[in-house]
Structure 1
Amino acid sequence: MGAGHREGAKVTAEAVERTQVGPLLAQWRRRRGVSQLELSHLAGVSARHVGFVETGRSQPSREMVLRLAEHLDVPPRERNALLLAAGYAPVYHEKPLDDPAMRPVLDAVRRVLRGHHPYPAVVMDGRRDVIASNEPFDRLFTEGVAAHLLRPPVNVLRLALHPDGMAPRIVNLGRWRGKLLTGLARRSALDGNLRPLYEELLGYPCEQPVPEADIPGPDEIMLPLELRCGERVLSFLATFTTFGTARDLTSSELIIESFFPADDDTAAYLSGS
């Protein structure tokens, strides 16, 4: 599948100049469900100091902002926003994928995709737009998909849920749709730029019931993707991989979604046996 990359929203000083760092840190702490006391233990400071930072009574150092952000698992792009709100320069920079410095990242991506054969795999950016994919993904997941959904940037969520996409072939569409939309709703709460995509996908028709909560059956370990391919129904388990040591915004937001056979029949079909 052709590569397509859309840059994420840029964090600017204008966007945060009216916001102090304390309330932003407090928002992240609440999102993570961490108390001030718990955060203070993680960061090695007093709960009093955390409280003073959040209320603006204490101005945190650059290192303290980054330390608190690390323990709150704040994404790198949002760490830049915290630094700007505290009056410091961003530390994470962003290079386009065609920059020569990004060659090791692209080499690693291609190596992962080749190594996952004969199973499907796709590399996406933070919006879930396709950066690259392997031949099994292109062959199995784009069968019968309308041409307008395959024009770059191809969005994996739109590809899966659009009625002209994979949706008619997904046997358990209701539950799979619920899973994808729940994840996107959670991310859009942190990144408002994803909200239009969420609302678009929410408007797609679905004849199957979509559960309000994903409640597994008594013997269900994982939710598989059940995909009709010709006369067969293939069953896949999906895993996500990120570059945990990435120092660049573009590479830190790359996601590799790898699909594995969930049963012996699917494994045999994919291996050609």
Structure 2
Amino acid sequence: MPPDSLTLQPEREPLGTLLRYWRGQRGRSQLDLSLDAGVSQRHISFIESGRSAPSRDLLLVLARALDIPLREQNELLLAAGYAPVFLESSWDAPEMASVLRAVDRMLQQHKPHPALLMDRYWNVLRTNDAAPRFFGSLTDLSHYPKPRNLLRLMFDPEALRPYVENWEQAAAALLDRVQREVVGHVVDQKTVALLESLHAYPGVRELKTLRSHLPVVPLTFRKGGERWSYFSLITIVGAPNIVPAQELKVECMFPL
């Protein structure tokens, strides 16, 4: 389950409840939000209590002040009776073409080392040739339908887990990454389901973070007499304006 430092995002709720929830997540009082957004505290209080119906533009101002992710900004608008303003098209929609061209260039330029494009739930959407070649040399990827989930491959005792030399350390670090990298720093229902599926694997609930003298936690694979140790750099899209652009990340694995 999510740690205490992250709160589960609520299901569809009234506008006032959602706004109060996000304000609480960011540790902002009504006065803080009023100063950040240039709106009176009284007006914010009326919105949260349901006594006032804000305009769409005002809601977007409040959402930006609270750094609410784009997908959740759409939820806020829907709760107020407005149509969403941020496209929630698929990651490979035409409007994403320029971003994906840049991603493909990054993936290919990173050869001969593995590089992957993933969504917010760690589903692998694209890779360079090196990624399936490397991971496929460790386990039979054909047993796992696309889109393959990198975390499940790492935690499944039938997949990559037996080949990870420092699995307990790496797995604990990956769970920490899920919580740190979650969009908006709030665990939604699908992330909860993903974490629960990972905790269902043997030995996961007992994991403890192990300290390392290195600046990063390495991911070390071993098969036969060969050994590979990697660390990752993560790239995200700057100034995203549509939902899938905010939720994609490129992971490039570098030899350590």
TM-score where L is the length of structure 2: 0.81
Matches within 5 A, 1:130-209: 130-184=124-178, 187=182, 190-206=187-203
**Partners in 1 of 2:82 and 2:236 — Cα distance?**
27
SS at match of 1:144: coil
The match for 1:238 is 232
Q: Does 1:41 align with 2:42?
A: no
The match for 1:31 is 25
SS at match of 1:96: coil
The match for 1:265 is none
SS at match of 1:228: strand
Query: Which stretch of the first structure deviates more once superposed, 23-32 or 189-198?
Result: 189-198
One-letter amino acid matched to 1:195: V
**Percent identical residues:** 39
**Partners in 2 of 1:208 and 1:49 — Cα distance?**
45
Q: Does 1:129 align with 2:123?
A: yes
1:259 and 1:83, CA in 2 relative to 1: closer, same or farther beyond 3 A? Answer: same
The match for 1:12 is none
**Residue-pair matches, total:** 243
Offset of residue 174 of structure 1: 1.3
Partner deviation per Cα, 1:68-127 (whole Å, 9 max, x = no partner)? 222322221111000011121100123335544432232122111012223321001222
Q: Does 1:73 align with 2:62?
A: no
Partner deviation per Cα, 1:177-212 (whole Å, 9 max, x = no partner)? 22323444675963212333222211112489611x
The match for 1:54 is 48
The match for 1:103 is 97
Offset of residue 57 of structure 1: 3.5
1:86 and 1:226, CA in 2 relative to 1: closer, same or farther beyond 3 A? Answer: same
1:72 and 1:225, CA in 2 relative to 1: closer, same or farther beyond 3 A? Answer: farther
Q: Given that residues 121 and 258 in structure 1 are in contact (C-alpha distance below 8 angstroms), is that contact kept between their aligned partners in structure 2?
A: yes
1:221 and 1:185, CA in 2 relative to 1: closer, same or farther beyond 3 A? Answer: closer
Offset of residue 131 of structure 1: 0.9
Q: Given that residues 116 and 258 in structure 1 are in contact (C-alpha distance below 8 angstroms), is that contact kept between their aligned partners in structure 2?
A: yes
One-letter amino acid matched to 1:180: L
1:35 and 1:152, CA in 2 relative to 1: closer, same or farther beyond 3 A? Answer: same
Matches within 5 A, 1:201-240: 201-206=198-203, 210-211=207-208, 214=209, 216-217=211-212, 219-240=213-234
Partner deviation per Cα, 1:134-153 (whole Å, 9 max, x = no partner)? 12322223322234553212
SS at match of 2:61: helix
> Where in structure 2 are there 5+ consecutive unaligned residues?
1-10
One-letter amino acid matched to 2:103: V
**1:114 equivalent among 108, 119, 127:** 108
One-letter amino acid matched to 1:238: S
**Partners in 2 of 1:22 and 1:240 — Cα distance?**
35
1:215 and 1:168, CA in 2 relative to 1: closer, same or farther beyond 3 A? Answer: closer
Q: Given that residues 198 and 204 in structure 2 are in contact (C-alpha distance below 8 angstroms), is that contact kept between their aligned partners in structure 1?
A: no
Does 1 or 2 have the higher relative contact order (CA < 8 Å, sep 6+)?
Answer: 2
SS at match of 1:190: coil
TM-score where L is the length of structure 1: 0.76
Q: Given that residues 122 and 258 in structure 1 are in contact (C-alpha distance below 8 angstroms), is that contact kept between their aligned partners in structure 2?
A: yes
CA-based RMSD of the aligned residues comes to: 2.8
1:82 and 1:208, CA in 2 relative to 1: closer, same or farther beyond 3 A? Answer: closer
